[in-house]
A and B are shown apart, each in its own frame.
Chain A
Amino acid sequence: MRKVALITLLILTCWFASDWARAADLKIPHNAVAGESLTLATSGSGDATLILVGPGEVVKRSIRLGEDVQIKPEELRHAGRWIAIVRGGSGPQSQAFWVSPGKPDQLSFLARPSRVPVNRPGVISGVAFVFDKNRNLVPQPTPVEFSLSVGGSGAKQSVKSSNGIAWVKSSSARKAGAAQFVASAGDASVRRVVQQVASDPCNLRMKVEQKSKDHVVLVTDPIRDCTGNPVPDGTIVTFIETDKTGKSVVDARIKKGIARAEMPASENANVTIAAGVVLGNELHIGGGE
């Protein structure tokens, strides 16, 4: 009889202990998504305090045990690991849960460089970071489309993001101008401008425009790169005259597509022309020229 009473007492104690332990039990869905509402189910009875500790916020509120708790979308903005703590009459009960990022909604797009010579292979790079509407990185592979165009013509590339990042390397176009570099994923689209400028001059040629006793005026043909784009005004062209007295150098800027320089007259001199690393033709002046 005594044994039966002891066993009954033991069972009752265990029952009470388990009930007490479940007093503030939490049930959290496994598919929580950042920026969406979430319902937490609680068991037990009485008043308690719910504390949610997230990657970028802490939410604290009073709840009634046994009732569902609604977490608003704006309270659950950050993806990652969260901890839910319930402080009731018994000791605190806690549970960790995961919140995954929402759908891709925003892109951070870096286009480099901002200014680039035309007709250069693999010189432009574009990097797109894929985020949801709450700026959580979306690591799931997402198709990102990159397009680079100047004056209506251009190229498109579709790339799947990896670990939240998609990137491309692209060649500059043959035509100078402001290239529109666009990255898009779903409804999100970000535009950057890459200024494509003429490359190095091609077929740099000069001639004598005017010659007098004291000086000679040299002028170039219109200066263009190898794909026919005019080299921008302001680019420096160097004229070098060499004779027996030494060397005269004039750095002239391209103005309205041509460069002009006035050199001292000489009876017998060679004149060369260069722009950057590109050499042009050579003239011999004086001595019967």
Chain B
Amino acid sequence: MKLRRVLVLTAGIALALSGAIPLVNHILADSNPPLQIKFDSAQPREVEDSTQQAIARDYSAAWKALKTSLANNATAPLTENFTGFALDRLSQRVKDQQQNGITTRIIDHGHKVEAVFYSPDGSSLELKDTASIETQVLDGSTVLHSDKTQMHYYAVLTGAEDRWKVRVLESAE
């Protein structure tokens, strides 16, 4: 009798977890990724406090937009946060995904970012980002590929009308 209760309880917990884990993942995927940025190494000029806050806010928003765009095959979130080569490139990726019937789900486990360059005129800034990323490529609900890895990114941000936009976003080994 006791064994049966334990089994039923275990099965119940397993069922609850199986529902809760994807839900938590989904919530995490939709929220801003955890981001730690250091500005101490920025050359050749120091990054002002207000710029530090703006960069943290806008780089985080860019990643959120990237996740949303690739998951839903929508380019609108990209245009608000990306510009130049990065926008062209990611927009093309979204169009290609749409054409080929696939989506990409990014589960972002956080970024450790270091500002390495801040231009003398204050118009552009480069970040080196070590991101812990889980990537799933899906065809409908079928998972074609899934992995979790630590990626390095070079990101160049430039000042736009009301925010910093990502102009270059390139992953490197």
Q: Give a binary string over B104-124; 1 marks a CB under 8 Å from any A CB, 0 the rest.
A: 100000000000110111011
Q: Give a binary string over A77-107; 1 marks a CB under 8 Å from any B CB, 0 the rest.
A: 0111101010100001010101011000000
Given known A-B contacts A127-B119, A137-B154, A53 and B137 have beta carbons under 8 A apart: yes
Partner of B124, one of A78, A87, A127, A162: A127
Partner of A58, one of B85, B100, B142: B100
Q: How many residues of A contact B (CB 8 A)?
A: 38
Which B residues are CB-close (under 8 A) to A164? 126, 154, 156, 168
Which B residues are CB-close (under 8 A) to A112? 120-121, 123
Complex contact B137–A167 (CB within 8 A): no
Binding site for B on A (CB under 8 A): 51, 53-60, 78-81, 83, 85, 87, 92, 94, 96, 98, 100-101, 110, 112-113, 125, 127, 129, 135-137, 139, 162-165, 167, 169
Q: Per DSSP, are chain B's interface residues mostly helix, strand or loop, or mixed?
A: strand
Q: How many residues of B contact A (CB 8 A)?
A: 38
Complex contact A54–B120 (CB within 8 A): no
- Interface members, chain B 64-96 (any A CB < 8 Å): 85, 88-90, 92-93, 96
Binding site for A on B (CB under 8 A): 44, 85, 88-90, 92-93, 96-97, 99-100, 102, 104, 116-117, 119-121, 123-124, 126, 128, 135, 137, 142, 144-145, 147, 149, 151, 154, 156, 168-173
A sample of 23 inter-chain contacts (CB < 8 A) reads: A51-B100, A55-B93, A55-B170, A56-B92, A56-B93, A58-B96, A58-B100, A60-B100, A80-B171, A81-B173, A92-B142, A92-B144, A112-B120, A112-B121, A125-B121, A135-B85, A137-B154, A163-B117, A163-B128, A164-B168, A165-B117, A167-B44, A169-B44
